[in-house]
Amino acid sequence: MRLYLVRHPRPEVPAGHCYGRSDLAADRADVERVLAALASQGLPGAMPVYASPLARSAVLAEQLSPAPVFDARLAEMDFGAWEMRSWDDIPRSEIDAWSADLLHYRPGGGESVMDVAARVAGFDADIRRAGHAQALVICHAGTMRLLHSLHLGGTLVEAALRAAQAPHRIGYGEVMMLET
């Protein structure tokens, strides 16, 4: 199976703000840029399209497929009370606490990395069983890191830690291909 992971277009959010599960619209010009880039690669073709239900992913999915499959397990991490706050306004002690327990700390009372890893692993298991030769998945940087890490193997904890420590920044509209 071949999975094409696509990060959503740039969201309409002030620079320097924490956002994860916040349901933000995508910048219209960036939606058009990503659509053109995908078309130049022949994507999605006739393959099924799966997407996070958050607006910044959904708008792209709805342009690419007459029947995209929205799956909440593809949503970005929920940062709880940190959502839409400036990173500078989040107490350093809270950020340090997260850094000290990267996998289990719940930023802002939201989700832990392990919470997100468990739901993304559920999606990964289901899509592998679906029997598609290939599929396009529109989601978020954190979700993409986790899916990539899960495909590298190991335990869920190992995959979550590898994803959480990944140094690679994933650009808006960036495509990552996974083969299984």
pLDDT digits (tens, 9 = 90+) for 76-122: 999 999 999 999 999 999 999 999 999 999 999 999 999 999 999 99
As a CATH number, domain 2-179 is: 3.40.50.1240
Q: In angstroms, rounded to a whole number, what is the distance separating the alpha carbons of residues 137 and 44?
A: 10
Residues in the chain: 180
List, in sequence order, every beta strand (DSSP E) within the chain: 2-7, 49-51, 69-70, 134-139, 175-179
For the chain, the domains span 2-179
Work out the burial of residue 100: count CB atoms within 10 Å of its CB; fewer than 13 is exposed, 13-18 middle, 19 or more buried.
exposed
The pLDDT tens digits for 127-162 are 999 999 999 999 999 999 999 999 999 999 999 999
Q: Residue 168 pLDDT > 90, yes or no?
A: no
> 26-53 pLDDT, tens per residue?
999 999 999 999 999 999 999 999 999 9
Average pLDDT over residues 161-171: 93
Q: Is 115 helix (H, G, I), strand (E, B) or coil?
A: helix
